[in-house]
Amino acid sequence: MQTAPQLAPLHLPPIAVGELGVVRLVDSIEHFSPRAILRGVTYEHLEPHLDWLRPHFLDEQNKLLMPIQSFVFRTRHHTVLIDTCVGNDKRSGFKQWNGRHSPFLDTMRAAGFPPESIDYVFCTHLHVDHAGWNTRLEDGRWVPTFPNARYLFRREEYDHWQAHPDELFRWTFEESVHPVVEAGRVDWVGADFQLDDQVTLERTPGHTPGHTSVHLHSGGREAVITGDLMVSPVEVAEPQWGQVGDQDHAQAVRTRTRFLDTYCDTDVLILGSHFADPTAVHIVSTPRGRRVRF
């Protein structure tokens, strides 16, 4: 069972990655039962991890705390928005996200990032809660929300959703993805795309075929924005648990395991796209298995 989302859009102090200040724009905070998000996982499965998941990543009922959030930052050359949350006036297969009216754009402005300041938008994948604000409704038409931005799309991801318009995501494609293509605002990029010397992409398939994380480099520091490679820190300890929304469970587990092997016990900061505050963590080894440190 899911509790109603906490609709409290806000921006939080920047997360320092070298010279970059990465700002979290929180559209809403959701409370999910584990079974709603993690395939076959119950509250009992969470019990061995309660000591380190609470209070940051579970609520008082041990539901998963999952913000719907974007990340925005200025490099030396560009202003970049990663993921665009749910959007307003949208339809989806998720009742709580239908026809929302969130002050997300006001939140962006308050954080110092008005929509017209965005140079590039990149969605880690094209699910509804990562692509919704790509467009807004204007005079009955869906138009790009960020009027001066180029939208960076992975062809592999776009082609998948175009060919497999299942009911849960069909509306997202029609309302939040295809209108941007029709408007001529898309640059098609590969998984090895490098925006500049501070922003590169990292292919992380499984959740969706073209799922891609974002690697930041600045001042000798590094960070990775995960997308839905992991949706809860508990997956650091239990990478074999599948997500309900994974398109390819086996591939997702392989990708997640490889990611954890690569970044465990390093200085690379992990910015979990659905990790609740503090969001920015390091993956570390402990006698009881892998955990997060912040």
The per-residue pLDDT for range 67-124, each reduced to its tens digit, is: 999 999 999 999 999 999 999 999 887 788 898 999 999 999 999 999 999 999 999 9
Helix and strand counts by DSSP (H, E) for the chain: 10, 18
Q: For residue 185, is pLDDT > 70?
A: yes
DSSP class of residue 247 equals S
SS3 264: coil
DSSP class of residue 144 equals E
Residue 88 C-beta-side C-alpha neighbours within 13 Å: 16
pLDDT for 12 = 80
Q: For residue 2, is pLDDT > 60?
A: no
What are the backbone dihedrals phi and psi of residue 53, each rounded to the nearest 5 degrees, phi first? -80, -30
Confidence band of 5 (pLDDT split at 50, 70, 90) = very low
Cis status, amide bond into 55, omega within 30 of 0: yes
Tokens of 91: 């339809």
Report pTM: 0.95
Report the CATH number of the 3-293 domain: 3.60.15.10
Confidence band of 9 (pLDDT split at 50, 70, 90) = low
Tokens of 184: 């001529």
Task: Please answer whether residues 243 and 156 qualify as being in contact, where contact means their C-beta atoms are separated by less than 8 angstroms.
Answer: no
Q: For residue 8, is pLDDT > 90?
A: no
Q: How far apart are the first and last CA of the chain?
A: 29
Residue 49 C-beta-side C-alpha neighbours within 13 Å: 25
pLDDT tens, position by position, 222-251? 999 999 999 999 999 999 999 999 999 999
Pairwise CA distance, residues 193 & 197, whole Å? 11
Pairwise CA distance, residues 130 & 249, whole Å? 20
pLDDT for 154 = 96
Residues 6+ apart with CB under 8 A from 198: 20, 75, 76, 216, 217, 218
User: Of 41, 37, 40, 14, which Cα lies nearest the Cα of 25?
Assistant: 14
Handedness of CA 259, 208, 240, 5 (dihedral sign): positive
Task: Please answer whether residues 215 and 202 qualify as being in contact, where contact means their C-beta atoms are separated by less than 8 angstroms.
Answer: yes
